[in-house]
């Protein structure tokens, strides 16, 4: 019986892919107040960049839009391979700011993801001007929360900063992300 010796060229290093991946859930405020000062247009432009980053990182993304009296999932969760501005063009604005309804819809999406892929890291991005009186509870099953503040003008209510502070979330202005 002949013995074979193990040589270095017999060994191969296989890089292990991240087990869970990442899901970025974007919650977009499409209320009437976001139409003022073209905040909704600015938010859509920022979303295109964020979706491009998610795609480059092979992360999943989802888009939940809220405004008027409801909230609905517009995309995902999926890896945004062909994302561009034509997907966002039909997203309009108007009505009230049902933040609690939007957060509730995003939470259901994130909970479904947690059941399917428990090792996946989940991020919730809230893009809003904070013009709401809703005070929803901090979502569970979320690893990171980023509140992106689109509030403009001389009179600022500061509700985005308060929401981020209350939830232990990262607070950032739209200008900081764009610039």
- Which residues neighbour 130 within 8 Å (Cβ) at sequence distance 6 or greater? 149, 151, 157, 158, 159, 160, 162, 163
Name the least confident of 2-6, 75-79, 90-94, 136-140. 2-6
CATH 3.40.710.10 fits 19-178, yes or no: no
pLDDT tens-digit map of 5-42:
666 665 665 554 446 799 999 999 999 999 988 999 99
Q: Is the pLDDT of residue 98 over 70?
A: yes
pLDDT tens-digit map of 3-13:
666 666 656 65
CA-closest candidate to residue 125, choices 176, 169, 92: 169
- For residue 25, list its beta bridge partners: 62, 124
Average pLDDT over residues 80-87: 67
pLDDT of residue 79: 84
Highest mean pLDDT among 10-19, 66-75, 98-107: 98-107
């Amino acid at each position: 019986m002949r013995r074979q010796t193990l040589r270095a060229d017999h060994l191969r290093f296989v890089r292990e892919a991240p087990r869970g991946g990442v899901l970025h859930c974007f919650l977009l405020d499409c209320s009437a107040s976001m139409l003022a000062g073209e905040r909704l247009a600015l938010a859509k432009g920022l979303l295109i960049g964020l979706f491009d980053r998610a795609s480059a990182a092979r992360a999943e993304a989802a888009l939940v839009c809220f405004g008027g009296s409801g909230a609905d999932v517009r995309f995902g969760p999926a890896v945004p391979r062909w994302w561009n501005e034509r997907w966002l063009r039909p997203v309009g604005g108007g009505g009230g700011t049902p933040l609690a309804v939007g957060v509730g819809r995003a939470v259901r999406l994130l909970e479904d993801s947690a059941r399917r892929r428990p090792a996946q890291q989940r991020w919730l991005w809230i893009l809003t001007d904070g013009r709401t009186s809703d005070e929803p509870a901090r979502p569970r099953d979320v690893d990171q929360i980023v509140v992106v503040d689109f509030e403009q003008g001389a009179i600022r209510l500061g509700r985005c900063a308060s929401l981020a502070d209350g939830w232990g979330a990262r607070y950032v202005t739209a200008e900081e992300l764009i610039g």
